[in-house]
Structure 1
Amino acid sequence: MGRHLPPFAAVKAFEAAARHKSFKHAAQELCLSPSAVSHQIRALEEYLDTALFERSGNRMDLTLTGRAYAGKLTGLLDLLDDSTRSVREAGDKPLRVLCTPGFAARWLVPRLGGLSFGDRIRLRVSTGAPDIDFSSNDSDVVIQWRDTHHPGVHTEPLMTSSRYPVICPDLKEQENIRSPQDLLRMRLMYDETDDSWDEWFAATGLRAPDLPPGPTFPNCELATTAAEQGHGVAMAFDAMVQGTLSSGRLVRLFDTDTMPEVIYSVACAEARTDDPMIRAFRTWLHDEVRLSQPGSPRVSAAE
């Protein structure tokens, strides 16, 4: 059976008028006159054999049918726009990835040598607070802290990790740390997000100890960096410090871990989940996580 498609010009006029809630503003967007927009909408109503607007004097309101139809059309037109842009701009437009500085430095950058999507794809990495408002963040993919979900955004867990104390080798040797109790005489690094010291001490059997004073940082990456430079002991996520431990810049203290939790997720606009560049990058991310964390659950980028 052939497709039953309405006149495209009429669809564009109706969607713009519904989105702006104004024939005048729709006309300005489409470079038409308000009367031309009105004519196109009447033509669409005749094609559908149903009213899309309720007219009362100069007032125009969407009918229930019109409101539902407009909501679907906006998503379809956005997807058509994104698909068309991806074809026209292939090779010229980079894949824009936004993530935290810590994720970029400790996890992403060391693995970029294994990233290969083909000769036509370029990667642009930005760091900062991962904002997942894709209408304003100038990004195609966001690697965000935790796994917060928002309407219109596709989010999938990327990485889980437990946490434990880390220290630079020289400081460990100097302080002769032998037991968790020894940490209570050390300078501890704290972070505002969730430093997990109470949870870790409870897991060792030291419940509610009086924690020693120490500097507080806005995130765990800065706390870990301070420990790496010999300023004290920090709680580090295992998934983020494997390279640092292997290099010997930090050493782990004791065998006790906190409970594993999702620490990063990958997000993109729902309308762009099937974009080839985005799908390839998401698949690569999950493959790299499985290589570094063999027990991690498989999450398909097609889901």
Structure 2
Amino acid sequence: MGRKLPPFAAVRAFEGTARHMSVKAAADELCLTPSAVSHQIKALEQFLDTKLFERSGNRIKLTLTGEAYAGKLTHLLDAFLEETAAVKEAPRTLRVLSTPGFAARWLVPRLPRLEFASDIRLRVSNGAPSLDFATNDADVVIQWSDKPTPGLTVEPLMASARYPVISPELRARENVQRPEDLLRLTLFYDETDDAWPQWFAGAGLSGADLPPGPTFPNCEISTTMVEQRQGVSLAYDAMVRGTIASGRLQRLFDVTTNPISIYAIACPEARAEEARIAAFRHWLRAEAEAEGVVPERLFHAAE
């Protein structure tokens, strides 16, 4: 059954008249004629089947029913006004916090394809992005781990294998032709999940003495160093496809590590289905699916 509500124009006319105790003042407020306001009040009385005003000539007085009803309506209309103003004034931006590598190598190049890209406020974290949504000033966090976290919705976003990347200039200068050639170059290592030993084992060089090289806290630093012709990094395929396509980097050899889950979407569980957050999560997953980098367990779950 639908709601049988009184005409809103009639409610406004009555409430304004009761608040001012003047038909003329209510008419001025509502940009109506006094006759129109009186007509609306009579329509409301007919709808309610009760008198709201006692009339004596040009004077009006609220009935007991009218007085009680007017007080409640004023309260409801004030609350309605406040809620409407809150919606109109609410920021339309979606605040996204991520790692530097995800922002620079993956998200930013794809943002023009997002319908509300101009409303994204992107921040990057020097370390692992904070998942404390009470303090991190974010609506959505793109984090490295997909570990379940109480109170949060955490869903794996992408998985990726790894392979060595090098700048075209360094490759030509050092005449890199075989996996063994990497052992005489500077290699960049990752603080988290470094996989050079596994890659060399896959290339048939298990137990090789790896050359010294700096260790970086995230893959974006090492990839940037490679672009500057400083050495070789073990890059995640999902993160460097665009850079390789641009010619700034080259992939070395056909050997890859086993794919691992590398990024996940996190947001407060209570807000996961808010329109903007849900739309952004859906868009991220669609972009990852289009590139074939969705984690296998998530892909099978969706089938």
* Amino acid in structure 2 at the alignment position of 1:266: I
Q: 1:184-216 deviations in whole A, cap 9, x for unaligned?
A: 111111121122101101111211211001121
Partner residue of 1:183? 182
Q: 1:119-159 deviations in whole A, cap 9, x for unaligned?
A: xx821111103111112111110000021221001000001
Deviation at 1:109, TM superposition (A): 0.5
Partner residue of 2:277? 278
Any residues of structure 2 matched to 1:19-30 within 5 Å, and which? none
Identity %: 54
Any residues of structure 2 matched to 1:90-101 within 5 Å, and which? 92-101=91-100
* Amino acid in structure 2 at the alignment position of 1:159: M
* Amino acid in structure 2 at the alignment position of 1:205: G
Partner residue of 2:233? 234
* Equivalent residues of 2:157, 2:295 under 8 A apart: no
Between the aligned partners of 1:114 and 1:91, the Cα distance in structure 2 is 24
* Equivalent residues of 1:91, 1:122 under 8 A apart: no
Q: TM-score, normalised by structure 2?
A: 0.67
Task: Verify: 1:263 aligned to 2:246, yes or no.
Answer: no
Partner residue of 1:29? none
Deviation at 1:98, TM superposition (A): 0.4
Partner residue of 2:156? 157
Structure 2 CA distance for partners of 1:262 and 1:90, relative to 1, 3 Å: farther
Task: Verify: 1:113 aligned to 2:115, yes or no.
Answer: no
* Amino acid in structure 1 at the alignment position of 2:103: A
- Out of 126, 130, 146, which is 2:123 matched to? 126
Where 1:195 maps in the other structure, the secondary structure is: coil
Deviation at 1:268, TM superposition (A): 0.5
* Equivalent residues of 1:98, 1:143 under 8 A apart: yes
* Amino acid in structure 2 at the alignment position of 1:179: R
Q: TM-score, normalised by structure 1?
A: 0.67
Partner residue of 1:168? 167
Where 2:257 maps in the other structure, the secondary structure is: coil
Structure 2 CA distance for partners of 1:293 and 1:299, relative to 1, 3 Å: closer
The higher radius of gyration belongs to: 2
* Amino acid in structure 2 at the alignment position of 1:151: P
**Structure 2: unaligned runs, 5 residues or longer:** 1-82
* Equivalent residues of 2:288, 2:294 under 8 A apart: no
Structure 2 CA distance for partners of 1:115 and 1:137, relative to 1, 3 Å: same
Deviation at 1:222, TM superposition (A): 0.5
Structure 2 CA distance for partners of 1:219 and 1:89, relative to 1, 3 Å: farther
Task: Verify: 1:135 aligned to 2:143, yes or no.
Answer: no
Ranges of 4+ aligned residues in structure 1 off by more than 3 Å: 294-300
Deviation at 1:296, TM superposition (A): 5.6
Where 1:202 maps in the other structure, the secondary structure is: helix
Between the aligned partners of 1:89 and 1:257, the Cα distance in structure 2 is 51
* Amino acid in structure 2 at the alignment position of 1:154: T
The number of residue pairs the alignment matches comes to 217
Query: Which region of structure 1 is more displaced relative to structure 2, 267-276 or 91-100?
Result: 91-100
Deviation at 1:117, TM superposition (A): 4.0
**Structure 1: unaligned runs, 5 residues or longer:** 1-83
Between the aligned partners of 2:131 and 2:234, the Cα distance in structure 1 is 27
Deviation at 1:88, TM superposition (A): 2.4
Please provide the CA RMSD for this pair: 2.5
* Amino acid in structure 2 at the alignment position of 1:158: L
Deviation at 1:218, TM superposition (A): 1.2
* Equivalent residues of 1:199, 1:258 under 8 A apart: yes
Partner residue of 2:243? 244
Between the aligned partners of 1:232 and 1:294, the Cα distance in structure 2 is 27
Partner residue of 1:20? none
